[in-house]
Chains A and B, each alone.
Chain A
């Protein structure tokens, strides 16, 4: 199959206070929750599986280099409550993806939201305010 040509990628780094999803079985220890990264790219895989759904997109930068981004959502049962389903995204679609990026610098993140070609926005993470784990033993406070 011929893949569609990628549009130019736009990598925008937003400085936001982003909340962790309350649906996550794990916290944000691996993620930099002080910022989000937004990109445009082409979907290569959309996996509707447990424990987390995930979206893989190819993002082309201005020099023509392609980055392969992997982004995790929540479990399907939780995503459905937010209007997602198995057919929400298709391979080959060009989408705008906003993620909380991994601290490692690898092209991995947690999905904040996806904007589909028709303009529809699907969100995973709550907006506003952080929801990270406590850093000290709460029973000793």
Chain B
């Protein structure tokens, strides 16, 4: 008998983990009660934005208008979503080759559960989607002036008050998109995240893009996205872009769907 192909190793983990996973929006009875206050200067936990984190339509009206240079970069991108979308078979989205999403795309688009860990000098963000992590330095160092460009940038953060943590990131390669709608950025982009813990169970995230080469003004791509605290034993699922699985997808689905 033919066996089901279970290429992803994480599939077993998914099946086992399923009973312990609840969508952030499923509230047990009695949760109408106010949650306890936020612990001071603490983002520790596993946080889930639910469906709102997917942001599959791109930033829409929230995006600032392009500069002429930005327009040029945008036209070269052929995304699978947005007002210039094309079939996957015709797209040139770096994600379709399993290239890294980079930051801030990994937070502005398909943000799934994320685990936050605090050490004495760092906050670590462990993302379910594509199983990547980011380091945010909290030891007071400034952003370096000419850091080598990277996919995820270089991040430093500080507490603005006891429940608001602000992160500044710079030093980006230009290779990544900001989202699945093909919005570009330059290597001069600066990104600011604001994490505002409203109460013990609720974290609010906003992300602002400042890239005058590409956008006429700064704009907020993620605006007060709500993430809910999950039980401590929640497992982050394995969701990895696997190049061979992506090629199979293109061969069996994407290319025939586009008539190729």
Contacts and interface: CB of A to CB of B under 8 A. Distances in A.
Contacts, number: 161
A76 interface: yes
Chain B interface bracket (under 10, 10 to 19, 20 to 34, 35 or more): 35 or more
Given A50-B239, A92-B2, A133-B85, A72 B253 contact: yes
Contacts of A31: 257
Chain A interface bracket (under 10, 10 to 19, 20 to 34, 35 or more): 35 or more
A134 B242 CA distance: 30
Nearest to B87: A30
B34 to A, nearest CB: 27
Interface stretch (A7-15, A59-67, A79-87): A79-87
Nearest to A72: B253
A70 B87 CA distance: 16
Contacts of B32: none
Contacts of A6: none
A56 B65 CA distance: 43
Contacts of A91: 1-4
A27 B4 CA distance: 28
Interface string A13-42: 000000000111111011100000000000
Contacts of B237: 76-77, 80
A76 B11 contact: yes
Interface string B1-30: 111111110111011001001010000000
Interface in B55-72: 56-58, 60-61, 63-65
A77 B112 contact: yes
A138 interface: yes
